[in-house]
Amino acid sequence: MRFFLGLILGLILFPLALMAYLYYGHVPVAVGDAPLLMERTITHRGLHARIDREAPRKSPMEPSPTNLLIGAQIYRDSCSGCHGYYGQTSPIGKELFPRAPQLWAPHGNGIVGVSDDPVGETYWKVRNGIRLSGMPAFNNLLNPTQMWQVSVLLANADKPLPANVIDTVKPGAAPNP
């Protein structure tokens, strides 16, 4: 009897507490708020499981000088505002939640940005975006060739790149002719 009383009370109280939490302004919705309990685990696990299922295993595109240069122009025009330039972080990228990783920043073991991620994973993220983050889906903004070119560039960010490629992703680079 007690058990059922507890169960029924729980069934009523739990949703009420949840409603109060939602409706009285306690949910962490501002960029500066601490993450929700298990927020990172849930979002990261879910994202990676989906990417493992869908991401192409291989790039149809070679890191040729032309592809790298076009990738750099796309990066400068569409990505640098959040992900930073070569040698300069983006002030806006830090103010997003989650933060936009700085894709030209070296970080441990010679990795630069996402150079340690499989190129298909980066392509998936560029194509589909990452929900509830500032990362847009570029599927309707770039064509598949362009999305591969920028992904191939980022996969090779830790390698020696041609000077014109680096110049294109430096701050103040001239816009496309």
| Binding-site ranges for ligand HEC (CB under 6 A) | 78-79, 81-83, 96, 98, 100-101, 114, 122, 125-126, 130, 133-136, 138, 150
Angle at 79 between CA 46 and CA 58, to 5 degrees: 55
The nearest distance, CB 24 to ligand HEC, in angstroms, is 28
The tokens describing 145, both together, are 């060739």
User: Which single residue is written with the structure tokens 């299922």?
Assistant: 53
The nearest distance, CB 139 to ligand HEC, in angstroms, is 11
The neighbour count for residue 129, using CB atoms within 10 Å, is: 14
CB closer to ligand HEC, 15 vs 161: 161
The nearest distance, CB 30 to ligand HEC, in angstroms, is 15
**CB-based burial, 65-98: b 16+ in 10 Å, e otherwise:** eebbbbbbbbbbebbbebbbbbeeebeebeeeeb
Distance CA 42, CA 45 (A): 5
CB closer to ligand HEC, 43 vs 167: 43
CB closer to ligand HEC, 126 vs 173: 126
The nearest distance, CB 52 to ligand HEC, in angstroms, is 14
CB closer to ligand HEC, 72 vs 150: 150
